[in-house]
Structure 1
Amino acid sequence: MTRVRSDLLPALAAFESAARHQNFTHAAEELHLTASAVSHHVRKLEARLGVALFQRHARGVTLTQEGRQLADAAGNALADMEGVLNSLRPRRLQAAKVRITTLHSVVHTWLLPRLGRFVDQHPDTELVFDTEATLSRFEDGGHDLGIRHGPGQWPGLAAVALMDDTMRPVAAPDMPGLASVHSPADLAALPLIADKARQGWHDWFRHAGVHGATPRERYQFSDTTDAMLAAALGLGVALARERILTPFLADGRLRLLDLPGMPARWSYFVVYPAHRQPSPAAQGFIDWLLADVAHFGP
């Protein structure tokens, strides 16, 4: 069996980081090296293998087919080694880390204001948040938990109900035209703000008993937080999920309009891979979330 020469291990580590970031400079920052040192390691590896691992161009680097193959193998090998090394450390020296994937709006407006209570109760737990728009696959070495807004059923995931929600019209207190709003139908004449949620203004007007209205969604945002900020700037009326409104209402940037709320079709759930139990640290975060919502409200 061919063995990897020990002098190539630093080169493999530099290559794996560069492949993951698709950027030599970012890899250098992660490894506390210079970009030229990372490039040297990669070229050494390419010379040893006799193949190009990256295509180099003016905008940066991209992996070749051979580079992608080696990146997959190197990433898995290094993750396995890290897992073994962590398991060998005395338990008192092991950092409890929980990797969480969720929406930016959930972290920014709902989770951050209450996160200090978790830190007080679990001072030794490290939390890593990922708010990428794409949903995590919860592969080994990736996220431990997710907080998702949806129907509560996802293939391969166990889901724990966290809280439901209500959709409510909100606007800046000084938004022009609000004085003319006396009924749900009056909102159709004002500029409306929407996000990419599957439940929106057309659903709300139907729920409020307004038929035949032609609401104009003047602004649409992929991120709910941006929709709230646009409403706070007086650009229009937003249909907001009540759970992420608290900081905007508390500081007066937005106010609830005296109009009907609409029960949200979807709720919030904590999810994790169904094939494995959460780690003690991850389970501690789940338990804290449920207890905090029960005690302080959603």
Structure 2
Amino acid sequence: MSIARSAWLSALAAFEAAARQQNFAHAAAELHLTASAVSHQVRKLESLLGVTLFKRHARGVSLTPAGRMLADAAGNALADLDGIFGALRPRSDVVRIRIATLHSFAHSWLLPRLGDFTRQHPDIRLSVETDIALARFDDDGPDLAIRHGPGQWPDMSAQHLLDETLFPVASPDLPGVQEVGEAGDIARLPLIADMARQGWRDWFSAAGHRGVRLADMHTFVDSTDALQAAVCGLGATLARERIVAPWLADGRLVRLPGPVLPGRFAYYLVHPAHRRLSEPAALFARWLHERARENA
């Protein structure tokens, strides 16, 4: 037969403190109870369970094997609950900013620079949310978003951050990549695509190869996955300047011959036009514009 929680919850708290302190008086002081009240709660728990949890002796108390088993479980459970209570309880000394953006931009451009912001503002905590869908700015939505697009969204204030360019890249170990001497040779390589609105046909047209025949491609929703697929040797991919930088810097990918294609879209800092940014969010926005100007 199970025991109702209301019958043992308070007794378990008294037992856990006594087990940790190995002393009823010290446990009582911690719980703001009397030693006799702690002893009563422990005896109540022993009666409910039908086991002896403590050995009582002149110098104090010590746990029995059954008591040690329960003490370990109770200590872990109460520590977990303390952590959850702390996470749920709002803290007046913590300021949090919620930022929504694409995973590819967060991974390759934003995260490598965020240490600078946290060093300048150690009291601000950031929540970075990544999704391919546009962020919804309702009551539970983010403070601001970094979007890749045309720069005009209904009811949104959009401030330009960065333009984008596209060019082909591949692993230096991809078979056939050493034989690529000009843009047209790339069509003979296996190609990788992402779900962006500008792709290989746009680039080949800019390179002067209109109507080039392209084989079916491996396709990835996220640009970082397409880049990693290229690293793994699945083929060449059309990379975005702001996203590919870490892969080029460490040599996992190399640029291939051909033109740089101006991006049809750019990156914008976005928030609802009717809502004034909080001071912490405005600080982040100013910092973001400074970093963007350094990388324009």
TM-score (norm 2): 0.68
User: Which residue does the alignment assign to 2:264?
Assistant: 265
Change (3 A) 1:217 1:119: farther
When Rg is computed on C-alpha atoms for both structures, the one with the higher figure is 2
**Structure 2, unpaired ranges of 5+:** 1-76, 82-87
2:123 corresponds in structure 1 to 124
CA contact (8 A) 2:180 2:257 kept: no
Distance 2:292 2:142 in 1: 22
| CA gap 1:286/1:217 in 2 versus in 1, 3 angstroms | farther
Read off the aligned partner of 1:114 and give its amino acid letter: R
Aligned to 1:289: 288
Question: What does residue 181 of structure 2 align with?
Answer: 182
Cα distance in 1 for partners of 2:222, 2:140 equals: 27
Alignment of 1:18-97 (within 5 A): 93-97=92-96
Aligned residue runs from structure 1 range 1-298, under 5 A = 93-295=92-294, 297-298=295-296
Partner Cα separation in structure 2 for residue 227 and residue 128 of structure 1: 25
Contact preservation (8 Å) 1:193, 1:217:
no
- Is the contact made by 2:248 and 2:254 (CA closer than 8 Å) also made in structure 1? yes
> Which range moved further: 118-127 or 175-184?
175-184
CA drift of 1:141 comes to 2.6
Deviation at 1:217, TM superposition (A): 4.3
Equivalent-residue separation in structure 2 for 1:234 and 1:276 (angstroms): 47
Aligned length: 212
Q: Offset of 1:137 from its aligned partner? A: 1.5
**Structure-2 separation of matches of 1:247 and 1:179:** 22
CA distance in 2 between counterparts of 1:179 and 1:256 reads 12
Q: Secondary structure at the match of 2:151?
A: coil
Q: Which amino acid aligns with 1:250?
A: A
**How large is the RMSD of aligned CA atoms in angstroms?**
1.9
User: Can you give the 5+ residue segments of structure 1 that lack an aligned partner in the other structure?
Assistant: 1-28, 34-81
Q: Could you give the per-residue CA deviations for residues 200-227 of structure 1, whole angstroms, max 9, x where no partner exists?
A: 0011011111022012242100011100
Using the TM superposition, name which of 102-111 and 213-222 deviates more: 213-222
Q: Hey, what's the Cα distance between the residues in 1 that align with 2:108 and 2:249?
A: 11
Q: Which amino acid aligns with 1:290?
A: H
Do the aligned residues in 1 keep the contact of 2:165 with 2:261 (CA within 8 Å)? yes
